[in-house]
Every structure is written in structure tokens, then in C-alpha cells.
């Protein structure tokens, strides 16, 4: 294999069945925010990064419900040089839940939610701070 590697997450959504097929090649799984403000990282296998293995990644299928929001985030949005993954996930879960519930009964816009993962990170070094959000209807 070459000397270059990359992580990737790929998702395909079927609007008729509301099924999301998703796989990861070394990338952090997406974060799912429910309508009620609860959220979690999707429990799914993470294959090796592209360039380290020729095997295909395992795909999982998730039923998406109307109003749920899926966040694709790089680890630089969640993990700081001084913290591990768990404190970053706790911060992300708390901040997104607060943003979701303060706008109830309406859901906050994606524009309002997309910057939430970066709040509270001003003292942290951001590395590959990329985020993408998708809401299901």
C-alpha cells in the first residue's frame, strides 16, 4: 500500500424507506440528535482507513425518524490535545441537547445547530474542524 491514508464515512439515505446505509473507513461515526434533545454517536463498526486495507468496510442500516439530525464531524471538533474522546462527546451531547430543547416545540434550524459543536472550544486547538448536518423529514 502507499504512504498516504485517509478516513472516510459514507452514507446513503433512501427517502422512501427512511433507511440510512452507512459505513466508516477509520472515521468517527456520526452523532445522532433526536427530536427530544438526546443524542449519541452511532454504534457502528469502524474499518481501517483507506490506504491501510483493501477490504470493504462493514455497512450498517439505521432507521431514521422525522426531525432527527445527523452530524458528521471530524475528531478535531470533539477531541482536544488535552482531553480524550469522552469529555468531548459529553460536551457535544450537552450543548446540542441544550440547543435542541431551548427552541422547543419547534426544532432549531440547521444553521443554528451547525456551529454548536464548536462552542466552548475557543481554548482548544482545532484540527480538521469539519462538520456537516442533515435533518430527516
CATH of the domain at 12: 3.60.40.10
Q: pLDDT of 110-124, one tens digit each?
A: 888 877 766 655 545
* Domain around 21: 8-135
- Between residues 106 and 51, the one the model is more confident about: 51
Give the number of domains in the chain. 1
CB atoms within 10 A of CB 124: 19
- Note whether residue 127 is domain-resident: yes
Q: pLDDT of 63-86, one tens digit each?
A: 999 999 998 988 777 776 777 778
pTM of the model: 0.81
pLDDT at position 68 is: 93
In the predicted structure, residue 126 carries a pLDDT above the cut 70: no
- Give the distance, in angstroms, between the CA of residue 73 and the centroid of all CA atoms in the same chain: 5
Q: How far apart are CA 112 and CA 116, in angstroms?
A: 7
Amino acid at each position: 500500500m502507499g504512504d498516504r491514508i485517509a478516513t472516510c464515512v459514507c452514507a446513503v439515505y433512501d427517502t422512501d424507506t427512511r433507511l440510512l446505509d452507512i459505513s466508516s473507513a477509520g472515521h468517527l461515526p456520526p452523532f445522532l440528535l433526536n427530536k427530544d434533545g438526546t443524542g449519541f454517536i452511532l454504534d457502528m463498526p469502524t474499518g481501517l482507513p483507506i490506504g491501510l486495507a483493501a477490504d470493504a468496510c462493514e455497512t450498517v442500516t439505521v432507521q431514521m425518524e422525522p426531525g432527527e439530525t445527523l452530524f458528521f464531524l471530524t475528531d478535531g471538533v470533539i477531541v482536544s490535545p488535552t482531553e480524550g474522546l469522552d469529555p468531548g462527546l459529553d460536551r457535544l451531547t450537552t450543548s446540542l441537547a441544550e440547543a435542541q430543547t431551548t427552541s422547543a416545540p419547534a426544532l432549531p434550524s440547521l444553521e443554528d445547530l451547525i456551529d454548536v459543536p464548536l462552542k466552548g472550544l475557543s481554548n482548544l486547538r482545532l484540527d480538521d474542524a469539519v462538520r456537516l448536518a442533515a435533518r430527516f423529514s
